[in-house]
Chains A and B, each alone.
Chain A
Amino acid sequence: MRRAVKQLWRHRRGNTLAVVLGALLIAVLYALGALSENHALADAAATAMQVTAVVPAGLTLVMLLLLAFTVTFQFYLERALWQRRRQEFGVARLLGLSANRLGGRLVLEALVRQAVTLVLGLSLGVVVSKLIAMAMVRLMGLHVTTGLLWSPLTMLELSVTLMVVAALQGLLDALAVRGRDLTPWLRPLPVTALPTRRGGRWRGLLGAGLMIAGWVVMLGWRPLLSRLPQQNRQWGGLGLLVVILSAWLIGTYWVIRDGLPLWLTALQRRHQGRWLISTTMTLTTIASRLRAHAHSLWLTTILASVTMTVLGSASMVYGVATAEMNRAVVAPVVVTAQTKRSVLAALPQAPTRELTTKLVVGRLTGGAASHLGLYQVMAASDYLRLRRGQPSLPALQLTGRQAMVITTRIGQVQRHFGERHRPHVIALARGPQVQVAQVTNQFPLGQDVFFDRGLVVTDAAFAQVVGTTDRLWGLYPAATAATRRAVNRLARGDAQLSFVANTAAVRAGRQLPRLATVAGGRTWSRAAAAYRAPVRAAGQTLFGFGLFLALLAGTVVVVATASILLLKLVIAADGSQAELAVLQQLGLPATSARRITWQTVGGVFALPLVIGVADAVVTLVTLHSQVAEPSGGLAAVVITVYIVVFLGFAWMTGRLIDQLSLVGRAGPED
């Protein structure tokens, strides 16, 4: 035990990083676990969303994902630290330490380090749980206060899992030092074996081809998909996606492992004897880093791509969804004559906006279509008056007998009113025949309290329509806690509906549609009152929760992947800083030496970033073209933040390596 602690201390530079990063990951894991077990939060979220268990389930899912990620991350770190001590292990065995004993020590070391990491991480977790909870509550628009979260169960779960992981890791290390042949252990790490020239070049080229092909296919996604026969589209699309992804994964790996190192080396060979040593060193060092760390660079690149894509699309979806919701949800409360009195009693001071419609049956004809529906007809002047408070409603350009149809079924709209068909006409049962000049999916005051379709006609035409008067009122109560309670209470009450009997007499226009509070026979129906504030809150809670999870996971992934890169480069720098020291002894100016360090770090960090950004942009552009009303602003911001964080890590790496060149040579440690 004492020996294990001593060994950990001897290699403290790498171990500190491992412990600190591990502790950060554990802290986030703990916070997620504790949050998922917090009843107050779950209840508040469930009330707001009107669905139970979404929050605990989502948190647990993300926690499991992050746990898997943490295990991978620790595995990588452990390997890196272990690699660095190869020679030490070789010498120890050469001098007679048995493989079993050495293995035992490695297991013990791994356990001790994990224990330290857990103690640190869990303590930190208790502290940050409050901050993370606050961020979540904020994004979800909930009104709950949380203190420090205390969850012994989560602590136990995490401790057991991660100690088992550490033991397994130690065992792997122990197994790896068992080899009979000691010679490879005693040599310093082999200087990066260069790829075999011919095979490598082909793999590199093929890899680049695959990557580019992946991007091209992704960008041409829609036209490509529409070539497929209708019934094969779903599976075909899925298959295509799988093919693109695999091609891209393999291609990226080949480019990183074979292509780039070879091209850099070839470039440098071509300029042999013409370049300054600083250029040569930068290129060869980057090439050798790519080659030596192809695996983790590949993983980092994939994670960077995935993270940026997920973050970008999550924020894009968040933007689209919120905009969509705000469009659908106009007045916080909408009532009909049926519910007006009781609702006004609960919200006496709410200002109102009124819309008068006439209910009438009409037959739509045009093309091959013929469809009988119940229309809520309104006058253009009324529509325009409401539009002033609801600017997303489209402008009107109606003359004479022209009309605008309002319907949510956009697909139907596009099919029925496509330009290929001759003009559509609606024959109202008792009123004029109008011509469809415009179509929209946006209802004045919001869509729920409409039966089926709305129809905007000129004031003159409206005067000629004979129908059942149906008035709607939008209520805009002041946003106070009392209102919120009152609205929530109303919303939770029995949903009241209004009906119109769909009888032969009504359809034929012999009878006016009659509003009723009970269903009988075939009917059209609608809500008699719509409470939009709770819906809006639920939406905000749900979307906010999604965004929260995406942002949290994204942050953790970016920090962890960038740290793996940092650690690998810092470890590799032990060697390269010694080489830079030699160059300085030969007369290389210190500034040039520093420039080599920074350019190397920059080059290695740039690789996953550039490929990742390219992937994310390609995917987001494709996604962008699929959504009706795209908003890329938030996605751009999120991706920019990602890039900044990543570059921050590059900067830290450069700093660490720079300091290494001053400190590293003095100490007897290495």
Chain B
Amino acid sequence: MRMVSVNHLTKIYGHRFNRVAALTDLSFAVDAGEFVGIMGPSGAGKSTLLNILATIDQPTTGTVTVNGTAIGALSDSATAKFRREQLGFIFQDFNLIGDLTVADNITTPLTLVPPVPANLASRLAAVAKLLHLTALLQRYPAELSRGQQQRVAAARALIAEPSLILADEPTGSLDSLAASELLGYLTQINLQEDRTILMVTHDAYTASYCNRIIFIKDGTFFAEVTRNGSRARFHQQIIDMAATLSGGIAHAPRR
């Protein structure tokens, strides 16, 4: 079943004399239950793509279908409903609410519209335990390290059990242990609960948790690598492709 299909997507920022094409005629598709990585050099348009998928940004031309719905054509309230019910988004810069405690930040997606679910407390406890946040629940985001903030952002994206998870460098600020744990968890919900995940990353090791990587360069589709074998081999394939992408200079894998 198709979860996401992106057709001839173009996004142009600015106007007239100062135009930046962030995406040009990008097309690809993702099936339900896939764990897809998106890689590319900085400025390639990865965040732009994710923002459009999340209905936070509008494409200049082209269409995006998620779960059978053309998300560009949704009304304001339908868009909000889509974000609430289908989507979990881990933002590149976290976007936590400074005035709210960690607990309130995490439960936000469940308290946006009535009714507030009765099992909210137990769901919070579960996700907090999973991401090692239990001791931090009554703190404020400003009182956390960046890695802790990133885990809060992840918890917030996961608590509502969305069918599509979009993650913009979800491990960028985590140490390798925490990164492995989060990625392990993402893999687990991907496999056991059949959730679709799209993850942007710069890091080949992080990417190796996915089962397919889409490479983007200058806003357009460049290549694709699918995992069929061990993770170590997939890892090497990714490093090779990244080297090709950046014109022969290999990115040293970050471990």
Point out residues on A near B: beta carbons under 8 Å.
190-192, 194, 272-278, 280-281, 284-285, 288, 575-576, 579, 582-590, 592
A273, B95: Cβ atoms closer than 8 Å: no
Q: What is the size category of the interface that chain B forms with chain A?
A: 35 or more
B99, A284: Cβ atoms closer than 8 Å: yes
* A-B complex: 5 closest residue pairs judged by Cβ atoms: A587-B84, A587-B83, A191-B98, A277-B111, A582-B95
Answer yes or no: B109 CB below 8 A from chain A CBs.
yes
The 0/1 profile, CB within 8 Å of A marked 1, for residues 75-97 of chain B is: 01100111111010101000111
Q: Which of B105-138 contact A (CB under 8 A)?
A: 107-109, 111-114, 116, 120-121, 124
Cβ-neighbour of A590 out of B76, B96, B97, B113 (below 8 A): B76
Point out residues on B near A: beta carbons under 8 Å.
54, 56, 76-77, 80-85, 87, 89, 91, 95-101, 103-104, 107-109, 111-114, 116, 120-121, 124, 140-142, 156
Given contacts A191-B140, A584-B80, contact A280 B100 (CB under 8 A): yes
Number of contacts between A and B (CB, 8 Å)?
A: 91
Cβ-neighbour of B97 out of A272, A583, A589 (below 8 A): A583
Distance of A271 Cα from B95 Cα, bound (Å): 24
26 A-B residue pairs with Cβ-Cβ distance under 8 Å, sorted by A, are: A191-B140, A272-B103, A272-B104, A273-B121, A274-B120, A276-B113, A277-B104, A277-B112, A278-B112, A280-B100, A280-B104, A281-B100, A284-B99, A285-B99, A576-B99, A582-B91, A585-B54, A585-B89, A586-B108, A587-B80, A587-B81, A589-B77, A589-B112, A590-B76, A590-B80, A592-B113
Cβ-neighbour of B112 out of A273, A274, A583 (below 8 A): A583
A276, B114: Cβ atoms closer than 8 Å: yes
> In the complex, what residues of A have CB within 8 A of residue B103's CB?
272-273
B100, A587: Cβ atoms closer than 8 Å: no
A275, B111: Cβ atoms closer than 8 Å: yes
Cβ-neighbour of A579 out of B76, B81, B97 (below 8 A): B97
Given contacts A192-B99, A276-B114, A288-B99, contact A583 B108 (CB under 8 A): yes
8 more A-B residue pairs beyond the given contacts A273-B116, A276-B113, A589-B113, with a C-beta to C-beta distance below 8 A = A272-B101, A274-B116, A281-B97, A582-B95, A586-B84, A586-B89, A587-B84, A590-B76
Distance of A585 Cα from B113 Cα, bound (Å): 14
Cβ-neighbour of A277 out of B89, B98, B108 (below 8 A): B108
Distance of A125 Cα from B104 Cα, bound (Å): 52
> In the complex, what residues of A have CB within 8 A of residue B76's CB?
589-590
Tell me how far the C-beta of B107 lies from the nearest C-beta in chain A, rounded to whole angstroms.
6
Q: Which residue of A lies closest to B138 (CB)?
A: A269
> In the complex, what residues of B have CB within 8 A of residue A590's CB?
76-77, 80
> In the complex, what residues of B have CB within 8 A of residue A575's CB?
98
> In the complex, what residues of B have CB within 8 A of residue A579's CB?
97-99
Given contacts A281-B99, A575-B98, contact A587 B111 (CB under 8 A): no
Q: Which residue of B lies closest to A579 (CB)?
A: B97
Distance of A585 Cα from B83 Cα, bound (Å): 7
Distance of A278 Cα from B104 Cα, bound (Å): 11
> In the complex, what residues of A have CB within 8 A of residue B101's CB?
272
